[in-house]
């Protein structure tokens, strides 16, 4: 069966348009939250902190704050995007249309990657108002942001299919992803932790994501960029396999 580009494009446009319709929640709210972090942790606390790895503290926290926003917004937006059609019953229009798993994934993932780049650009633009910083590997940073956004868009897709009420829809982003991101080196380097907490922190998978993005900014990280990329690609592959299984079996889609 050949790939249906029109179907993928339709899904992509629908998801992107839904993002633009909720611009206040999807863009303004994260920007305001990030600005508060910069004011509190950057201006108030950062001026009293020593540089970390030669990077001023105000600039050091930028990749972590960006990852914190991306993970939460990408997962929540994607999960809500598939949950609402299930909730209203319009999911059957997608299931009955000549749309395969590949077209669905390309549409959702493409929209998630686009939204993440827009959000990242706005957040980085906001950061320039508070601190001077440079990105050592801008191309790698863009690719890495798209990879993380794609992975967690698929994860949110799975979450939106699994959830059977609005309460479950917010459990994982709020009670799991956000705490893990805070504990994953958003505001500090793992090397600053005393033994054995520096090793225990490596059990947190989000720490590798934050470390990978920080490498694209400043060329240094707590763990190897190869390990961060490998884990992210592995997570992406698992999510693709799970979604393929869901579409093949119709789990929770045809209930």
Q: With pLDDT > 90 as the criterion, what percentage of the chain qualifies? A: 33
pLDDT at 206: 95
Q: How far apart are CA 105 and CA 251, in angstroms?
A: 17
Does residue 43 or residue 196 have the better pLDDT?
196
What confidence tens digit (pLDDT) does each residue in 13-58 have?
A: 988 887 778 777 777 877 888 888 888 877 777 778 888 988 989 8
**pTM of the model as a whole:** 0.90
pLDDT value at residue 255: 61
Query: For residue 164, what pLDDT is reported?
Result: 87
For 29, 131, 197, the CA distances from 119, given in Å and listed in that order, are 11, 18, 33
Q: Please list the alpha-helical segments (H only) found in 163-204.
A: 166-172, 178-182, 197-200
Checking if the pLDDT of 63 tops 90, the result is yes
Output Rg (C-alpha) for the chain, integer angstroms: 19
Task: Evaluate if residue 207 carries a pLDDT over 90.
Answer: yes
């Amino acid at each position: 069966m050949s790939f249906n580009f029109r179907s993928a494009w339709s899904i992509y446009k629908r998801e992107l348009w839904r993002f633009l319709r909720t611009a206040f929640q999807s863009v303004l709210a994260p920007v305001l939250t990030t600005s508060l972090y910069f004011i509190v942790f950057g201006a108030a606390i950062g001026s009293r902190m020593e540089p970390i790895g030669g990077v001023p503290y105000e600039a050091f926290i930028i990749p972590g704050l960006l990852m914190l926003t991306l993970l939460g917004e990408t997962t929540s937006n994607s999960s809500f995007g598939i949950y609402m059609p299930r909730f209203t019953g319009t999911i059957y229009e997608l299931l009955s249309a000549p749309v395969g798993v590949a077209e669905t994934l390309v549409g959702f993932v493409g929209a998630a990657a686009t939204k993440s780049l827009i959000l990242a650009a706005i957040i980085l633009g906001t950061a320039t108002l508070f601190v001077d910083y440079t990105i050592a590997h801008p191309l790698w940073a863009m690719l890495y942001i798209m990879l993380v956004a794609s992975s967690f868009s698929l994860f949110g897709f799975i979450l939106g299919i699994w959830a059977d009420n609005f309460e479950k829809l917010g459990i994982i982003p709020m009670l799991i992803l956000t705490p893990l991101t805070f504990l994953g080196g958003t505001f500090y380097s793992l090397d600053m932790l005393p033994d054995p907490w520096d090793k225990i922190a490596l059990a947190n998978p989000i720490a590798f994501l934050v470390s990978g993005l920080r490498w694209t900014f400043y060329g240094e990280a707590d763990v190897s960029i190869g390990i961060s990329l490998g884990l992210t690609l592995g997570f992406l592959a698992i999510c693709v396999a799970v979604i393929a299984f869901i579409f093949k079996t119709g789990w929770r889609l045809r209930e």
